[in-house]
Structure 1
Amino acid sequence: MHVQQNGTDAPMTEATSAFDPKSGNVLERLVFNHRPWVLALAVLITVVLGFLAAKLEVNASFDKLLPQTHTYIRNYLENRGELRGLGNNLRVVVENTEGDIYDREYLEAMRAVNDTLFLLPGVNRPFMKSIWTSGVRWVEVTEEGYRGGAVLPANYNGSPQSIADLRTNVGRANLVGTLVANDLRSSMIVVPLLDRYADTGERIDYGRLGRDIESQLRAKSASLVPGKPGKIKIHVVGFGKLAGDLIEGLREVMLYFAFTAAIAAGLIYAYTRCVRSTVLVLSCSVVAVVWQLGLVRLFGYELDPYSMLVPFLVFAIGVSHGAQKMNGIMQDVGRGMDKYVAARYTFRRLFLAGFTALMADVVGFAVLAVIDIPVIRDLAVTASLGVAMLVFTNLILVPTLLSYMGVSGRAAQHSLRSDEATDSGRGLGKLWDLLDRFTERRWALPTVLAAAALALGGFVVSLHLQIGDLDPGAPELRANSRYNLDNAYITSHYGLSSDQFAVIVKSERDGCLKPQVLMDIDRLDATLRDVEGVQTTTSLADAVANVSAGLNEAAPKWISVSHNQNLVNTAVLRAQDANPDVVNSSCSVTPVVAYLTDHRADTLGRVLEATEQFAATHDRADVRFLPAAGSAGIEAITNIVVKQANRTMIVLVYLSVIVLCMITFRSWRATVVTILPLILTSILCEALMVKLGMGVKVATLPVIALGVGIGMDYALYLVSAQLTLMRQGADLAEAYRGAVRFTGKVVALVGITLAAGVGAWAFSPIKFQADMGILLTFMFLWNMVGALVLIPSLSHFLLKKVPARAQAGAALKPLEAN
C-alpha cells in the first residue's frame, strides 16, 4: 500500500496502516482528535496577547533594585524623606573647556542648564543644589557676629564685581571639591528625583528622562555660548541617567534578537533542508514570546533592562524543543510514515521528556523568586510565564501543525541519507561513531576522571569568585561608554566621589542638640575615616565643630563639640542654616556620610563592618546608628543579599531538578547521570567568571539558573531516549547510538545554534548583557558536550543494565519498526 505524501510516493508501513486514532493517552487524543479547535484556540490567544504585548512598556525602577525586606534597607526607606541627596539623584556637571567658572558666558550657560533641569518632569525641585540655587549658602563670622546668604549674590548681573562676589562666596561656603571642581573649570548641579511624577502620580519614565537630558541638555550645549560650540560640555551621572542609557541601548538589542533568529533559521535549515518546518519551529517559538509579553502586560508587569533578555531565552528554549519535535517527525516521514501518524508518535515519544524539561526550567526560574530583590523576582515571574507558554506552543502546537504540513520530500530523503551515513560511519556519522565509544570503559574512565579534574580545578578557581562590582563607574555599561567617561571626569575633578555610604543617626525630637549625641557622631566620623577606602566624611558634628570655632574667633582649639548646651544650640542652628542636608527639621535624623574611593565589595564590606561594630557599642535608648543610605550603602546591603541568595538559589535549583528527574526516570542512577554534567558546567561557569573579572551581582545572579535549565533540556531528551531503548532490551552501546540518532543530533544542533545566537550578545553596548551572552554561550556549549560525552561515560558505570519495562518502551517501538 502507498500513500501520497508531500509530493512523493512513499510506502505506508504496517505501523501506519494499523494505527488506531483512539490509541495514546488522554492528552494525545484530546489534541490530535480535535486539531482544528487546538489551532483556533492558538490563533485566538495569539491575537489577544499580541494586542496586549504591543502595549508593553520598558522602564526601570530604583526601588526595584533594593532588597526591600532587609533591615538596613528598611532603615533607609523609613527615613528617606529626611535624607536629601542620599537616594535617587542626578549629578550634572557643566564644564568650561576654555577657562574657569568665573566667566560671564559660562555662568549664563550654567544658569540655562540649571533652569532646564529645574523644569524637567520628575525633578524634586526644592532640593536641587548648585551655585545658582538659593539653598546653597555661605556663612562667616565677623567681629559683628554671623553673616550669611546665598552663594549667588542677590544683585548678580554678570558684571566683573558680581562675579568677584560670587568667587568670594564660593570660598566662604567651602564648595571647592563638592559643587565646584578642584580646578575651578566646572561646577555641579545635584538633582534629586521623585519616585513618581507629581502631576500624574505615574512612575518616572527613565527612558524619557534620558532622552530629555540628551535632547534638552547635551544636544543644546553647543549653542549655549553663541559662536563657541565647544566651550560648554555636559557630564551626567546617577541612576536615572544610567537607567535611561540602558533602556536606550535595548533598542539595539532587538537587532540581536533578529540576528539570533537568523542564525537559528540558517542552522536548522542546513540540518533539515526543509523551509516549511524551519519556519514553523521559529514561528512557534516567536508565538511563545508574544504570549509571554502579553501575559506580562496583563498581570501589570513591565520589562526592564535586567529582564529584557528573558524573551531571548524563551525563544532559545522554544527552538530547542521545537527542533526535537521536528526531527522526530522528519525521521518517521522519511521512512514512509504518514505525517499525521508521525506527529502523534513523536508527541507520544517526546512529550513527557519535553514537559519535564520545561517544568525544570519553570522551577529553575521560579526559584529566583526567593531572592529579596524585586527586579529579580520580576525576572523570575516573566521567565516562568514564558517557559510555561512553551508547553503549548512547542510541545503541542508544533506537532499539531506538522501533522498538517509535514516535511518536504527533500527533507525526508535528507533525513534517510543522514541516518544511512550515521549507520555506515560516513560524514558526520564518524562523529556519532566516536561518541559511541564513550560507552566503553577505556574511553569512559579517562573521560570521567578528566571531568572530575576539571570540576576540582574549577572549584578551586571559583573560590575566588567575588560579590558585587569589580570595576569603577557603572559596570552595566562599557568602560568607554559616555556615562562611564562622564563618571571618570567627575571622579577625577571633584574631591568627593559619588560613592556615598551614609549612616542614619536617629534620635528623639531635638535629640541632635544633645552634646553627647553629637560627640558620638564625631566619634563615628573618626572611626569611618580610619577605614581603608574612605576618602573623608561629613556630618552635623563636623559642621557644629566648625561653627563653634567661628563663634570663638576661629580659634583651632574650639574645633570640637562643646559641652556648653547654649553654644551647641546656636551651632546646630547655624549649621542647619548653612547646609539643610546635615539634619532634618525636627533635629531627629542626621546622616553621617562617608565618601569612598570605589564601590568594590571588599571596600563596602569594611565600611559596613566598622559601622556595625560602632553601633553595637554606642546604640542606646535615645540614639541609634542605623546602616545604610547613599548609593554605596545600598549597594553594600545588596551585595549581602546577593551573596546569601547565590548559594541558596543554586541549591534550590538542583534540588528541584533532582526531584523532577526522579519523577521522570524513577531511577537514582539515571538522575545522577543527568545531574553531574550540569554541576560540572555550573562550576566551570563560576571559574570563568573569576577569570573574566565578573562579580556576582543582580545582573549576573540568574545566569547559573538559566544555564541549568537549558542543560536540563539536553540531558532529559538524551537520557529519556537511551533509557527507553535499554528497557526494550538494547545494550548500552545500542541504546546510546539510538538515542543520539533520535535526539542527540538535535542536541548538538541546538547547542551550536543557541551558542552562536547568544554569542552575538558579546558585542552589545550594554556590558552586563555582553557578560550574560559570554556566560550563556559557554554554558550552552558545555552542557551540550556534557550531554553527548559525559552521559555515555557515566552511563557505563551507572546504567550498564536497566530492568526491562514493556510499557515504558512502547513509545519508541514505532521508530524501531521502521
Structure 2
Amino acid sequence: MGTIKQDTMPVISDPRDFDRRSGNLLERLVFNHRLLFVLVMASLTLLLGYQAATRLELRPSFEKMIPHGQPYIQNFLENRQSLRGLGNSVRVVVENTRDDIFDPEYLEVLKQVNDELFLAQGVDRAWMKSLWSPAVRWTEVTEEGFQGGPVMPDGYAGRPEDIEQLRQNINRAGIVGSLVASDFKSSMLVVPLLDRATASGQGIDYHQFSRLLEERLRDKYEFPGDSRARQAGEDGGGQYKIRVIGFAKLVGDLIDGLIQVMMFFGLAVLTSLAIIYLYTRCVRSTLLVVACSLTAVVWQLGIVAWLGYAIDPYSVLVPFLIFAIGVSHAAQKMNGIMQDIARGTHKLVAARYTFRRLFLAGVTALLADAVGFAVLMLIDIPVIQDLAITASIGVAVLIFTTLLMMPVALSYVGVGRKAAERALRIDTNAAAHRGFGHVWDFLDRFTTRRWATGAVLVAALMGLGGFWVALQLQIGDLDSGAPELRADSRYNRDNAYITSHYALSSDLFAVMVKTPPEGCLNYQTLVLADRLAWELQQHPGVQTTVSLVNAVRQITAGTFEGNPKMNSLQRNQNVLNYAAQQASVNTPELFNTDCSLMPVIAFLKDHKAQTLDEVVAIAERFARENSTPEHQFLLAAGNAGIEAATNIVVREANRTMLFYVYLAVILFCLITFRSWRAALVALLPLVLTSILCEALMVVMGIGVKVATLPVIALGVGIGVDYALYLLSVQLHYQRQGLSLSDAYKNAVAFTGRVVALVGITLAAGVVAWAWSPIKFQADMGILLTFMFLWNMLGALILIPALSHFLLPSAGQTRTERKKSRRAEAVPA
C-alpha cells in the first residue's frame, strides 16, 4: 500500500510571496477585494434578514394543494359555483357525553356553536347545514299532499313539546347518520368555505380559522377554564365535546405543529455545532461553518419574502435542508483550509488553494441540488412548485454564502494552531496506519478485486431485493384519517369518532352530470345517473350514493299518496318537472339553478389509494361509454375526487421527476469528470439508494403523495455531493499517475473524513424530525436520514469498488493515460 502524497501546491507561509494575479477571474475578483466583498455580503444579509422578519408569511392555501392542469380538477373548477359543499369544507360535531341531543341545554350550546360558525369569516353561509339551519328540512306525504318545514320547529323554546316535535322532524327528514349520530348523542354542522373571505376579499387564513375553532368553540364548551389541556391535545372532561375535521382544521393543526417543530431547527444547529467541534476542536471555524449556513437560510427566506412567496406546511422544511446542505459544503472548505494551514501555509493562501480545488466540485454539486429541486416544477401542484422555487433560491444563495463567503471569512479568521496541528497529526497517524488509518486501510481494501467484487455483488443483490419490494409502492394515502398527522392526534381521534358514529363518511366522490339548460330533468339522463349510482354502490368501498334521482323518486311516490310502485323514474316530463321543483326547496345542492349540472355523490368508507383508484376506474369506464353531447359525465368533485386527481398527477410525475433528476446528475457528472465511466461510478450508488428508499417506504407503510414525493429527488440531488467531492479528488490524483489505491487514500485523507462527517451531521440534523407531531415530517426525517447515511456509505465503499472495474490505475494503459490527461476534474 502506498503513502499519502502531499498536494502539489507549494507551501507559502508569507502572503507577500503569493502571486495575487494567479487563479481564475472569480478568485481574483473575490480574494483581491476581500474587505469590499465581506461588507457587501454583510449588507445583503442585514437587508434580506429585515425582509424575512417583516414580510415573510406562513400562508397555506387549499388552491395550492390541487393540480390545476389535471382534467378532473379543471372540470371541478369550471363548475365549482354549482357544486357548493363539494369542495373545501369543515365538519364540526358537538357531542353530549352525559345525555342525548334532545337535551334543551345541549340544543342551546349547538345553537351558539352554529351562530359562531355562521358569522365566521370565509364561511359560505347559504350552504351551511345543522339542526339550526333553515335549509335542513323535513318532508312527508299526507292525504292532502306534501307537508314539510325546517327540522328545528318554528318558535322552538325548549319546551317538552318542542323537543318531541324536533325528534319527529329528525326522523321524517332522514338525517340520522348524516347530520345526527346513529346513537343520538351528537349532531354535525357542515360548514362549506369560500375561496376568499367575503369582507376582505383575501384568501382564508386557515391558521386563524383553526384558532377560532379552538378558542371560541373548544375552549368555551369543551375546556371551560382549562385551555392548557386542549393545547396538550387531550379530550375535554366536561359535558360537551367539540370534534372538527376538514382541510382548514388539518392545515391549522399542521401549522401549530410546525411552530413547535421550529425548535428542531435550533436542535439541528446545536447538533451541527457539537459534531463539527468534536471533529475540528476549533471554536472559530466551527462557528463560522454554522454562521455561513445560517446566513444562507436568512438569504433564502429574505428573497422568498421579497418575491412575494409565502411559507406553507410543506415548504417550511426547506430552511432545514438549506442549512444542512450549507453545513456540508462549508465543512469541506474548512477541512481543506485546515490541512493547508497545518502544513505551514498562510490562512489567506490556504483559503485560495481550497477555493481552487473545490469550487468546481462545489458548484457542480449545488447545481445538481438545484436541479433536484427545480425538477419538482414539472409537477402540476402549486404547493410543490413553490417548494421547488424556494429551495432552488436557497441552493443558489449557497454559492455566495458557502462557496465564496466561507473561504474569504476563513482567510481572515483562520483556524486555531492546535486544531491545525491536530489535523496534521491525524493525517500523519493515518499515513502510518494508526488511528483513522485503520478505517482508511479498511476502505482501501475495496480497491482490490476480491473486496470490490464482493461489494458490487452485495450491492446488486440489495438492489434487486429492494426493487422487488419497491414494486409494491403505492400512490396516495394508505391509512384512513389524515396521514399528515399522527394516528393519536386530536384530529385523527375526531375523525375516528365521526367515522364510527355516522353512517355517511366525510370522503365524498362526485361525478358531475353536465347537460344543456333544463337537461338534467331529461328522462334518459336521470336513468343514466341512476345506473352510475348503482354501479358505484356495488363497490365495497362505497357506503351509499346520493343524486337528484333519489329526490325525484321520493317526491314522485309522495305525489301519488306514497304508492311504492311510483317510487321510480316516470317517463312523463311533467311529473319529473314537478319533482324537481319540489326538490329545489328541500335539496337544492343536488342540481344547479338552470338544471344544467347535477352531481352523483358517492360516500366512500375511506380515501385510501386503492379505494380511490377502483372508484375512479368505475366512473371513468361509465363516463367513456355513456357521455354524449346531451349529457356528459365529468370526473370529479368532492374531497375524495380531488384527492384522486392529485394521486393521478403524483403517479405520473413520480417516474418522470426521477428521470429528469438522474438525467441532470449524469450531465453534471459528465461535465465535471469528462468521463462516462466516472459518471457511472458516481451514479450507481445513488440509484441503489433510491431503490432502497422506495423499499423502506413500503416497509414503513408510506405512500407516494404530495408530502413525500420530493424526498427521493432531494436525496438524489444532495447525495451526489459526496461522490462529486470524493471522486473529483480521486481522479485528480489518478491523473497525476498514482495508482487507484493511492489516489483513493489521498482522496479519503483530503475529503473522505469530511464526507463521513457531513453524512453524520446531516443525518443527526434531520433524525430529530422522527419525533415531530407532524407525521409526514417524521416520515421525511426518517427517509432523509436513511438517504444521507446510505449515500455516505455508498460514496466511501462503492466508489472505490466500482472504480476498480471502471476506473483502473492510470498506469495500466496508454490509451487511458491519454484520456486522463485531456480532462482535469480539479484544476491544479
Q: TM-score range by the shorter chain?
A: over 0.9
Deviations 1:475-496 (A, max 9, x none): 0000000000000000000000
Aligned with 1:761 (options 766, 769, 773) = 769
Aligned residue number for residue 484 of structure 1: 492
CA apart distance, 1:810: 10
The one-letter code of the counterpart of 2:805 is F
CA apart distance, 1:222: 3.8
Q: For residue 718 of structure 2, give the secondary structure of its aligned residue in structure 1.
A: helix
Deviations 1:608-660 (A, max 9, x none): 11111111121111111100000111111111110110000000000000001
Question: How far apart are the structure 1 equivalents of 2:778 and 2:751?
Answer: 31
CA apart distance, 1:732: 0.6
Question: How far apart are the structure 1 equivalents of 2:270 and 2:536?
Answer: 55
Aligned residue number for residue 438 of structure 1: 446
- Indicate whether 1:648 and 2:656 are aligned: yes
Deviations 1:516-536 (A, max 9, x none): 211111111111101231111
Deviations 1:778-797 (A, max 9, x none): 00000000000000000001
Aligned residue number for residue 28 of structure 2: 29
CA contact (8 A) 1:109 1:224 kept: no
- Indicate whether 1:731 and 2:768 are aligned: no
CA contact (8 A) 1:224 1:232 kept: no
CA apart distance, 1:230: 1.1
- The TM-score, its normalising length taken from structure 1, stands at 0.96
Q: How does 1:652-801 map to 2 (within 5 A)?
A: 652-801=660-809
Question: Higher mean Cα deviation, 117-126 or 738-747?
Answer: 117-126
Deviations 1:366-396 (A, max 9, x none): 0000011111111110110000100000000
CA contact (8 A) 2:330 2:402 kept: yes
CA apart distance, 1:450: 0.6
Q: How does 1:193-342 map to 2 (within 5 A)?
A: 193-222=193-222, 230-342=238-350
Question: How far apart are the structure 1 equivalents of 2:23 and 2:142?
Answer: 97
CA contact (8 A) 1:673 1:791 kept: yes
CA apart distance, 1:163: 1.1
Q: In structure 1, list runs of 5 or more residues that go unmatched.
A: 1-10, 814-818
Aligned residue number for residue 73 of structure 1: 73
The one-letter code of the counterpart of 1:791 is I
Q: How many residues align?
A: 802
Question: How far apart are the structure 2 equivalents of 1:229 and 1:345?
Answer: 67
CA contact (8 A) 1:728 1:809 kept: no
Question: How far apart are the structure 1 equivalents of 2:225 and 2:139?
Answer: 32
Question: Higher mean Cα deviation, 714-723 or 505-514?
Answer: 505-514
CA contact (8 A) 1:225 1:232 kept: no
Deviations 1:750-772 (A, max 9, x none): 10111111010000000000000
* Runs of 4+ displaced beyond 4 Å: 11-18, 223-226, 804-813
CA contact (8 A) 1:246 1:766 kept: yes
Q: How does 1:395-406 map to 2 (within 5 A)?
A: 395-406=403-414
Aligned residue number for residue 346 of structure 1: 354
- The TM-score, its normalising length taken from structure 2, stands at 0.95
Aligned residue number for residue 8 of structure 1: none
Question: How far apart are the structure 2 equivalents of 1:18 and 1:65?
Answer: 60
The one-letter code of the counterpart of 2:379 is I
Deviations 1:571-590 (A, max 9, x none): 11112211111111111111
- Indicate whether 1:598 and 2:598 are aligned: no
CA contact (8 A) 2:145 2:561 kept: no
Per the alignment, do residues 642 and 222 of structure 1 end up closer, same or farther by CA in structure 2, a change over 3 Å counting? closer
Q: In structure 2, list runs of 5 or more residues that go unmatched.
A: 1-9, 227-235, 811-816
Aligned residue number for residue 180 of structure 1: 180
CA contact (8 A) 1:367 1:380 kept: yes
Aligned residue number for residue 108 of structure 2: 108
CA contact (8 A) 1:225 1:231 kept: no
The one-letter code of the counterpart of 1:774 is I
Aligned residue number for residue 135 of structure 1: 135
The one-letter code of the counterpart of 1:141 is V
CA apart distance, 1:14: 7.4
Aligned residue number for residue 393 of structure 1: 401
The one-letter code of the counterpart of 2:371 is V
Aligned residue number for residue 42 of structure 1: 41
Q: For residue 39 of structure 2, give the secondary structure of its aligned residue in structure 1.
A: helix
Q: How does 1:493-512 map to 2 (within 5 A)?
A: 493-512=501-520
Aligned with 1:453 (options 442, 457, 461) = 461
CA apart distance, 1:59: 1.9
Question: How far apart are the structure 2 equivalents of 1:807 and 1:610?
Answer: 61
CA contact (8 A) 1:725 1:809 kept: no
Question: How far apart are the structure 1 equivalents of 2:329 and 2:292?
Answer: 10
CA contact (8 A) 2:368 2:718 kept: no
Per the alignment, do residues 540 and 809 of structure 1 end up closer, same or farther by CA in structure 2, a change over 3 Å counting? closer
CA apart distance, 1:735: 0.6
CA apart distance, 1:428: 2.1
The one-letter code of the counterpart of 1:748 is A
Cα-Cα RMSD: 1.6
Aligned residue number for residue 119 of structure 2: 119
Identity %, equivalent residues? 60
The one-letter code of the counterpart of 2:459 is A
The one-letter code of the counterpart of 1:315 is F
CA contact (8 A) 2:13 2:344 kept: no
Deviations 1:796-817 (A, max 9, x none): 011113436669669676xxxx
Aligned residue number for residue 5 of structure 1: none
Aligned with 2:585 (options 571, 577, 587) = 577
Question: How far apart are the structure 2 equivalents of 1:224 and 1:748?
Answer: 53
CA apart distance, 1:437: 1.0
Aligned residue number for residue 229 of structure 2: none
Aligned residue number for residue 19 of structure 2: 20
Question: How far apart are the structure 1 equivalents of 2:258 and 2:114?
Answer: 29
CA apart distance, 1:12: 6.5
The one-letter code of the counterpart of 1:500 is L
Aligned residue number for residue 170 of structure 1: 170
Per the alignment, do residues 225 and 778 of structure 1 end up closer, same or farther by CA in structure 2, a change over 3 Å counting? closer
Per the alignment, do residues 615 and 809 of structure 1 end up closer, same or farther by CA in structure 2, a change over 3 Å counting? closer
Question: How far apart are the structure 1 equivalents of 2:29 and 2:652?
Answer: 46
- Indicate whether 1:154 and 2:162 are aligned: no
Q: How does 1:462-541 map to 2 (within 5 A)?
A: 462-541=470-549
The one-letter code of the counterpart of 1:124 is D
Aligned residue number for residue 422 of structure 2: 414
- Indicate whether 1:63 and 2:63 are aligned: yes
Aligned residue number for residue 50 of structure 2: 51
CA contact (8 A) 1:364 1:653 kept: yes
CA apart distance, 1:471: 0.6
CA apart distance, 1:223: 7.3
Question: How far apart are the structure 2 equivalents of 1:224 and 1:736?
Answer: 68
CA apart distance, 1:139: 1.3
CA contact (8 A) 2:535 2:618 kept: yes
CA contact (8 A) 1:365 1:384 kept: yes
CA apart distance, 1:607: 0.8
Question: How far apart are the structure 1 equivalents of 2:590 and 2:13?
Answer: 87
CA contact (8 A) 1:345 1:811 kept: no
Question: How far apart are the structure 2 equivalents of 1:248 and 1:12?
Answer: 55
Q: For residue 138 of structure 1, give the secondary structure of its aligned residue in structure 2.
A: strand
Deviations 1:587-611 (A, max 9, x none): 1111110011111111111111111
Question: How far apart are the structure 2 equivalents of 1:574 and 1:225?
Answer: 48
Question: Higher mean Cα deviation, 433-442 or 335-344?
Answer: 433-442
Aligned with 1:564 (options 559, 572, 586) = 572
CA apart distance, 1:15: 9.2
Question: How far apart are the structure 2 equivalents of 1:287 and 1:299?
Answer: 18
Aligned residue number for residue 88 of structure 2: 88
